[in-house]
Amino acid sequence: MLQSPALARLLGAASLQRDKRCLAQVLAAQFGLGAGFPAGALSALGDGLLQDQAARQASWMCADPVYLQLQRDSFALAESLRLPAEQSIPMLSELNTHFTEQGLQFHAGRSGAWYLRTQQTPELSASLLAQALGRNVAAFAFSGPDAQRWRGLVNEMQMLLHEHALNQAREARGQWPVNSVWLSGPGVLPARLTAPSQRFYASDALSLGLAQCAALSCLPPPATLAELVTTPQVTAPQISTSHSDAMLVLLDDEPTAAVLDQAWLQPVWAALRRRQLSALQLHIGVGGEVLSVYLRPSDTWKFWRKPLTLEAYVST
C-alpha cells in the first residue's frame, strides 16, 4: 500500500468519502455511465481495436489473463498478467481455434490487454477485474440469464490454458501461469457520451475510449503538477463529481510514492495554499473500492488536523 507523507497530510485535512465502486466505475460515472457500463467496448476502442464499423457495432468484453490461486477451499484472484506478444499471440490463437465456431473471437489491443468479441451481448452481470483482485472469486461469480453458459465457457478456457506449453514454460521459470480469463464489462459501444471537463489527461485504454466517445481531446499525463497548472484558478486536476477545468487519470502507470510526493502531492498542497487551485478532488483506488478526497484552499490551514494514512482508511 502507498506510503506517502504528503498524501497522509492531504488525507488528514480533507473531507473523505468511501465509495464501494471501483476506480473504473467512478471514472465512467463522470461520463454519465452506470456501474454496469460496457468497459470491454470502451477499452477496446481506446486500445485500437475498433477500426471499422462492424467492430464498433459488435459486443465486447474485457478478457484479462489471470492467475487464480488455490486457497484451502476456494480460489482467489491472485494476479492480473500482462503477457509479452510472443506468449500472448499463441495463447490467443489456441483460444480462437477452439471458440470461433461459438461466435467468440479473442483479440489483443495495442497495450497487450486481451478482449473478447461476441456476436451478441450476453445477459450477464460480471464484476470488473479491480473489484475481485486479491479476493475469493466465488463472491464475484457471474449472474444473470446467461450466467450458467458463461461459467461453462470459462471452464473450457481454463482447461485449454492449463494444457498450453507456454504456461508450463512459465511455471518452469517461476512465473505465474495463465490459468484463467477474467471476463467483464460486456456490451456495445455507447453512441455518445458527455465530456466532464475542459482538459483531460490519461493514457490507459478505458480513459482513451471514454474520451473518444465524448469527442474529448485526451493528452498524455504530464510528469508534474507544474505542467498542468499553467493558469490561475484551475479546478480539480483529477476526477471530479462536477464539471472541472482539468481531469487527470493515472490508471495505467501509477507513480512510485517518492515521485507522487515530489511531482504531485507536495506541489498540490502548495498550490492550494497559494490559491492556484480553487479545489482538488482525488479518487484513490484501495482494494477494489475508492477513497474520494476533497480539499479547498482553506483546508490546508487547519493545523489541528492530524495526518491520516491509507491503512487507517482501510481499517475503518
- State the pLDDT confidence band at 316, using cuts at 50, 70 and 90: low
Give the whole-angstrom CA distance, residue 49 versus residue 62: 12
CA distances from 311 to 22, 78, 140 (A): 18, 21, 24
The region of weakest confidence among 54-68, 73-87, 178-192, 242-256 is: 242-256
226: enclosing H helix or E strand: helix 225-228
Which pTM does this prediction carry? 0.90
Task: Report residue 278 CA to chain centroid gap.
Answer: 27
DSSP string, 69-87: EE-SSSEEEEEE----HHH
pLDDT at 196 over 90: no
H or E element at residue 93: helix 85-99
Identify the CA nearest to 127 among candidates 115, 139, 114.
139
Tell me the pLDDT band of 213, cut-offs 50, 70 and 90: very high
Taking alpha carbons only, the member of 70, 73, 108, 104 closest to residue 87 is 108
Q: What is the pLDDT of residues 119-144, one digit of tens each?
A: 999 999 999 999 999 999 999 999 99
pLDDT, tens digit, 9 for 90 and up, residues 221-260:
888 888 877 544 333 334 333 446 888 888 766 667 788 8
